[in-house]
Structure formats: C-alpha cells, structure tokens
C-alpha cells in the first residue's frame, strides 16, 4: 500500500513537471500560439499571442478567431477553416493581416494544423502566428525600389530622348510667333520687300485662329516638358548642397507652392481648404536637399487638394499638417479628410504612372517622384494610410542622421 502511494505521487510529480515544462515552452515562444475549437472560438492563447493582438489573455479566450483578422482576410480564412475541417487539407501556411484590439493592424505568418480526436474526428486547430510586419515593410520597400529602378531607368532614358525634340518644338513655336508678330520691325521689312500687305496678313492669321493654335502647341508642349522634368527626377541624384532645414518652414513653403499651382490652374480653390498646423517646434533642423523634399511635400499636398475638390458636400475640407519625432526620424504627416482610397489603390500609388485621374489631370508621377526623392535620395520612408470615405494620411519620415544621403 505505501508503495502504491509513492508510485502515485511520483507519477503526479512527473506529470506536473512535464506540464510545467510544456507551459514554460509555450509561454516562452516568440510566436503566438492559439488553439481554436470547431466553432472557431479561441480556447487557448499563449502570452505572445495576447501581446500581438494587444488583448488581456483572458479576453481572448472564447472570442472568435476570425474576429481578429482584417476584413479583407475573413473570407480567405473561412475557406481555409472549411478545408481543414473537412479534411481536404491538414495544415495551412500563409500570411495574414490581423487586427489589434485598438484596430491597428499587423502582418502575421500563420501556420495552422488540424487537431484530430482519437477517432479521427475534427477537434479544432492549433495555429502558430509570427509577426512579420517589419519583414513585409522592408520587402515592400525593396519591391518598390526595384520597380522604381526599372521604370525609373526607362523613364529617365525616354525623358532624355524626348527632351531635345520637345525643346525644338517649343523653340520653333516661339520663333513662328515672333515672325508673325506686328511688334517686330524685321517682319514689316520683309513684307515690304516682297510687296505683301502686313495688315492683311495679320487679319488673315486672326481669322484663321493661327495665334490660338500656336498657343495650344505651347501649352501642350509645356505640359509635356513638366512631365519630362518629373521623369528625370527618378534618375537624378540631386547635386544641390545639403542644408539644415527647419521643417515647419519647409512644409509651409510646400503648401504655398501647391496653392499657387492651384490658383494658376483655377480648377480648384485652395482657399476653401482649412489648413491645420500641429508642428513640434522642438524638432531640430534636418539636413536635406531642400528643393527635393519641398517638391515631394508639394506633390502630396497637391493630391490632397485635388482629392478634397472631389469630395461630396459635408464637413469643411481640411488638410492637417503635423510634425513629430520618432526614434531616429523626424516625421511629417499630411492628412486630408477627402474621399480616401481603397487598399488596392493605396498599394499602387507610389508606382510610376499610376493614376486614377483623367488623362490631362493626372500623370501618375507625383507620388513616385516623392518616393524617389524621400526614400532613394534621403534614405527616408514614405507611406500612406487611408480609410475610404474618411481621408488619407501620408507620412514622410526623414532620418536625423542621414549619413550617406545621396
Ligand atoms: N490625398 C489623396 N486622396 C485620395 N487619393 C489620392 C491622394 N493622393 C494620391 N491619391 C491617389 O494616388 C494616385 C497617384 O497620385 P500621383 O502619383 O500624385 O499621380 P496623379 O496625381 O498624377 O494621379 C492618384 O491618382 C490618386 O488616385
Ligand atoms: Mg499628383
């Protein structure tokens, strides 16, 4: 009898030890681990999982697993769960977007396996989830940089080739305008020489709208020249000196430039937009190529103004400009309360020539140029966050220590 008791407590001890060991391993894991029952409810979540989702662990238990996924993932996750439940597959490995308690999102690499009961029936799932947000971000930058290098090289090559013929077109239009102008004495002299009535010629040109036709050529040519300048910005490694620049002044200048551009085009009225400034005046000046960053910010502000012009009547159109410090970076945020954009568009906005605007309004170069200037030339970061219907926020991060900039 005493022997049996000892056996019993030894077994209990061994069990307890083994349970403790398992618990320590599961809790020490750098990956989130969750167990999900057949109804899709979370039955167990380790500490890391709770940390990643930013929930108190006890609140996770009993919650619906798919409830922690980003909207865009839910249908895919339901399909996977169905396949696992039916036995069509016994495991899944995929990347998914998850939501934290506060609604912010992160990317997780999910590896899920089906749990079977002793009789082979489906008992639920065990999933391991690793936060890969940082890896995704770096991957995105690399893909974008690769795209920029490829298309940028092509664009720059084309721009150089187009520059000369375009220059010739614009210059020759100017020459023609001069040679038919009544203001130039030489024209009158030639007319007299060949016995042509210069006044009659003027009348003819006027009646046939020649002046206007020439102006159209100049306008179209100037627009093309603007596009070419942007295309050249991809390959140009700015040679201008780097200078310490006060961010608040720089942003104000960019807004001013964007506003002038609008006034010139008279398409949208910048004055109806309320500009809210929330500058952190304690940020030290940042070393940069001032003209480049100004151009990048101006492109972003112009887009915001264009987006605001499209929005339906409602709250007053507003652009909020904010600066702050975050670790190694000075951050500039430009937010508007316009129509915003869907995720599929947000993914492509930095692509050269990507535009949702009518031909003639958008060239799709504004943000790709901003990207090239901020990321490639200044080792900074640029990203967009948007909630469709609510607006857009562009974040430009510039390193305090740009060591090796350009
Ligand atoms: N603030 C914004 N709100 C909504 N959409 C935007 C905003 N900024 C940029 N976009 C989208 O990004 C696209 C690309 O912008 P950009 O590169 O400047 O080219 P473009 O302005 O010539 O179209 C725009 O066509 C638009 O769809
Ligand atoms: Mg634009």
Which ligand lies nearest the alpha carbon of 307?
Answer: 1
Give the closest residue (by CA) to ligand 1 atom 24. 355
Q: Which of 65-79, 104-118, 120-134, 232-246 has the lowest mean pLDDT?
A: 232-246
Asked if 303 and 393 sit in the same domain, the reply is yes
Residue located via tokens 């709250």: 315
CA 103/CA 68 separation, integer angstroms: 9
pLDDT over 80 (residue 95): yes
Q: Which of 233-242, 301-310, 380-389 has the lowest mean pLDDT?
A: 233-242
CA 370/CA 377 separation, integer angstroms: 10
Whole-number average pLDDT of the chain: 89
Q: DSSP string of 332-389? A: EEEEE-S----HHHHTTTTSTT---SPBTTB-S-HHHHHHIIIIIHH--EEEEEEETT
Query: Ligand 1 site: residues with CB under 6 angstroms?
Result: 299, 303-304, 307, 336, 338-341, 345, 349, 354-357, 362-368, 392
Domain that holds residue 120: 31-131
Q: What CATH number did the domain enclosing 107 receive?
A: 3.30.450.20
Measure 303 CA to ligand 2 centroid, in angstroms: 5
pLDDT of residue 377: 87
Closest atom of ligand 1 to CA, residue 354: 14
- pLDDT tens for each residue of 46-90: 999 999 999 998 999 999 999 999 988 988 898 888 898 888 998
- pLDDT tens for each residue of 189-204: 999 999 999 999 999 9
Measure 270 CA to ligand 1 centroid, in angstroms: 17
Asked if 91 and 138 sit in the same domain, the reply is no
CA 65/CA 311 separation, integer angstroms: 37
Asked if 125 and 182 sit in the same domain, the reply is no
Final residue belonging to a domain, choices 131, 160, 186: 131
Q: Is residue 3 situated within a structural domain?
A: no
Asked if 290 and 367 sit in the same domain, the reply is yes
Final residue belonging to a domain, choices 183, 205, 236: 236
Measure 157 CA to ligand 1 centroid, in angstroms: 25
In terms of Cβ atoms closer than 10 Å to its own Cβ (0-12, 13-18, 19+), residue 77 is: buried
Task: Quickly state the pLDDT bin for 293 (edges 50, 70, 90).
Answer: very high
Q: Is residue 1 situated within a structural domain?
A: no
Final residue belonging to a domain, choices 76, 97, 131: 131
Closest atom of ligand 1 to CA, residue 361: 22
pLDDT over 70 (residue 253): yes
Q: Which residues contact 173 (CB under 8 A, 6 or more apart)?
A: 214, 217, 218, 221
Asked if 107 and 145 sit in the same domain, the reply is no
Q: What CATH number did the domain enclosing 280 receive?
A: 3.30.565.10
Which of 147, 255, 311, 349 should be mutated for ligand 1, with most atoms under 8 A from CB? 349
Instruction: Give the chain's radius of gyration (CA, Å).
Output: 31
Closest atom of ligand 1 to CA, residue 338: 3
Residue among 152, 160, 185, 103 nearest 371 (CA): 152
Asked if 253 and 380 sit in the same domain, the reply is yes
pLDDT of residue 263: 59
Asked if 262 and 386 sit in the same domain, the reply is yes
Domain count, the chain: 3
Q: Is residue 9 situated within a structural domain?
A: no
Per the CB < 8 A criterion, the answer to whether 310 and 339 are in contact is yes
Per the CB < 8 A criterion, the answer to whether 130 and 30 are in contact is yes
Asked if 254 and 397 sit in the same domain, the reply is yes
Which ligand lies nearest the alpha carbon of 387?
Answer: 1
Residue among 82, 83, 32 nearest 60 (CA): 32
Please count the CA atoms within 13 angstroms of the CA of 134 that sit on its side-chain side.
2
Measure 284 CA to ligand 1 centroid, in angstroms: 30
Q: Is residue 376 situated within a structural domain?
A: yes
């Amino acid at each position: 009898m005493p022997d049996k008791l000892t056996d019993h407590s030894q077994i209990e001890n061994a069990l307890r030890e083994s349970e403790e060991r398992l618990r320590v391993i599961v809790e020490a894991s750098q990956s989130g681990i969750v167990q999900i029952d057949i109804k899709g409810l979370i039955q167990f979540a380790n500490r890391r999982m709770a940390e990643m989702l930013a929930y108190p662990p006890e609140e996770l238990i009993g919650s619906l697993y798919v409830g922690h996924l980003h909207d865009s993932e839910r249908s895919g996750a339901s399909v996977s769960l169905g396949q696992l439940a039916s036995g069509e597959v016994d495991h899944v490995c995929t990347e998914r977007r998850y939501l934290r308690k506060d609604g912010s999102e992160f990317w997780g690499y999910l590896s899920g396996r089906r749990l079977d009961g002793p009789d082979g029936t489906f008992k639920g799932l065990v999933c391991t989830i690793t936060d890969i947000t940082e890896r995704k971000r770096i991957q995105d930058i690399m893909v974008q940089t690769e795209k920029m290098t490829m298309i940028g090289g092509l664009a720059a090559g084309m721009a150089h080739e187009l520059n000369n013929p375009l220059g010739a077109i614009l210059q020759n239009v100017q020459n023609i305008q001069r040679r038919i102008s009544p203001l130039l004495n030489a024209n009158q002299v030639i007319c007299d020489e060949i016995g042509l009535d210069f006044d009659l010629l003027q009348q003819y040109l006027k009646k046939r709208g020649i002046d206007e036709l020439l102006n159209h050529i100049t306008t179209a040519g100037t627009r093309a020249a603007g596009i070419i300048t942007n295309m050249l910005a991809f390959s140009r490694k700015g040679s201008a000196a780097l200078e310490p620049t006060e961010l608040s002044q720089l942003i104000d200048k960019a807004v001013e430039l964007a506003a002038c551009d609008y006034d010139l085009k008279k398409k949208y009225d910048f004055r109806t937009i309320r500009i809210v400034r929330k500058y952190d005046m304690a940020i030290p000046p940042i070393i940069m190529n001032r003209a480049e960053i100004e151009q990048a910010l101006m492109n972003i502000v112009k887009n915001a103004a264009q987006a605001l012009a499209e929005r339906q009547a409602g709250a007053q159109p507003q652009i909020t400009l904010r600066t702050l410090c975050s670790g190694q970076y000075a951050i500039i945020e430009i937010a508007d309360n316009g129509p915003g954009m869907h995720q599929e568009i947000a993914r492509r906005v930095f692509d050269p020539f990507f535009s949702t605007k009518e031909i003639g309004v958008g060239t799709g170069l504004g943000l790709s140029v901003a990207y090239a200037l901020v990321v490639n030339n200044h080792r900074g970061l640029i990203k967009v966050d948007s909630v469709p219907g609510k607006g857009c926020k562009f974040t430009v991060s510039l390193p305090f220590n740009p060591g090796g900039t350009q």
